[in-house]
Structure 1
Amino acid sequence: HQEHKFEAAMGNMATEVDTKTPRYFEAEVVRVEQVTKSVRDVTVLAEVSRELVPLTQAYKQVGQRATVRAAGANGAGAQVPISSAPPPVEVYEESLDRLRGDIAASDSKVQLEPVSTLTEVTLRVDSARHRALYGLEPGDKVETGPFAGMGMSFRPMQFIFGYPTVLICANGEGISSAKALIECGASDRGLCFHMREAVRLYQREEQDGSLAYADRHANWANAYHVDVHPVKRAGGAHALQDAFDADDLEYDPDATAAIVFDGGDPGFKMSALKMLNDAGVNPDVIVQATKDGDAIFLENHAVTDDEKRRKGIA
């Protein structure tokens, strides 16, 4: 009987995948860059294989945080902002093929060791908040665990020709998230800024008056079509509005979307939302950082009787 065959097959399969128990993997530091006087970008080779890291714990969306701890340590690690783009789907192809059971016609289905997939992930390390990580040098080892949060959903503005103009307001650690989004480029994780008419990044100065990633701004303009406009820290609540007013941007409010990376500063967030409101940008296409974000994956669940009937297996 078809139903009995289904139940017998299900009995030989895992009915629940453990996606809640955190797993940590060794990661080697490959590069360290000084971003500001007190912030460094620490790039590690992190494990991202879908066979080893479940989707619920993977880095899949800008705005998530990495969980990092010292090599050999026990307990939960520190949550650290990420300043590199999420890996494109091509990185996972081999491990995804394994999970689906895809094999070549000449191969036999046998038990294989899980595929390890290492890719560069850049951590924004602050000297005050991440003291144990700030002194890392190339060759040092740490452990990376689950990537926390859901990140930010940019679905409202993914229609390139509907929103040819994008305004980005970034402050503090939010600048690292802005960098990650910009450098997604044309990947499935990005917004294809290079195909839009105008993209502006209004970036707030650091405490010492410098601009984070100033050495990358020329490349952002040439490769990604993103023009950076500094926001003076000394300007207070009106600094963001002053930077926008000084810009010679011509735009259609109905064809403009916006992103606010406030870096946890409610004052900057209020200033950004007021500026965008005064500019006539539709609130429905203003994306802000949220605590949980939008779920972009399907949870594992048991197959119900209704689903069996719909699939013709009951």
Structure 2
Amino acid sequence: MKLGAPSLPPQLPYSDLVYMTNRGFLAKKLGQYVGLHSDEGAALFYHSFSQPSFADYNQENQYDYLLYLSEQMLKWNKLKYNIALQVKKMDVNPDIQNALLKAYEIYKTDLFADSYEAAIQENKVKTDQQMDMKWVIYRDVIYAATQEKFLLISEEEAKACRQGNVFCEGTIKSRADIPACRNLAKESLEAEKIGSTNIMTWILVLSEAITNTIKHAEEGKMTLIKDEKNHEIRFIIEDNGPGFSLEDLPRTTLLAGFSTKKSLGQGFTLMMKMSKRVLLYTSSKGSTIILTFDISEKKEGELNATG
């Protein structure tokens, strides 16, 4: 659908202009998250200025529907409702629901400050000391329950995992970057003389981590590091998303297929099964997933297999 920029009413109040701009921006982001082309996103943004409200939207028109959803979220913010809870109550397509939750998490302090601040007051945010104690308990329990395959780490520990030689890097901004990063990693691993069977397995795990980045964050980065000293290769996948809920991590990591973020649970299960260990640093500003692979054992096995 091609839509040009509409003409604005000559006496449009400033407050209405700001509202339509926010509504259009939010709808554009929702469109991006559900797979609309960038040109369609731009047209969707301008379509926000075509009418005051999309409450009586045309169900056959995707632009109208996304603008209606944006309108609802902005309305909930004004009423100081718990937006995440309202979204979870909606009977909508899972991709739409995920897009709404993602938009809220990323823009909760910019577009939804009233709702977010009300939620903070309602929940009486825990002190840093309480959160630190809770984090340590979750880390130890999950680590033991996964037979030392999954470990929550601190920001400093995540930085320490960068020791070694970086032999591959890639950026993740859209779904098109998934196969691009996958192929780049494959070529780089081949250059490192990693066997084809191991490459196939490792790339499968990498795809899970990269897909998670696109699904739940604006953008991310892939870094492959070879650490000769510790005889391992590490895949580091970073994103700028809202982070993982500490309360959901036990179920996310221990129950195959469980996820509050559509399909992520199965992803962690696969990552733990196919890698030496999975490390996770997460905060409200983003997450870093680190997948480690033991190259000393892998290479020795490959040499024996080839005689």
State whether TM-score is above 0.5.
no
* TM-score normalised per structure 2: 0.27
When you count strand as a share of all residues, which structure comes out higher?
1
* TM-score normalised per structure 1: 0.27
When you count helix as a share of all residues, which structure comes out higher?
2
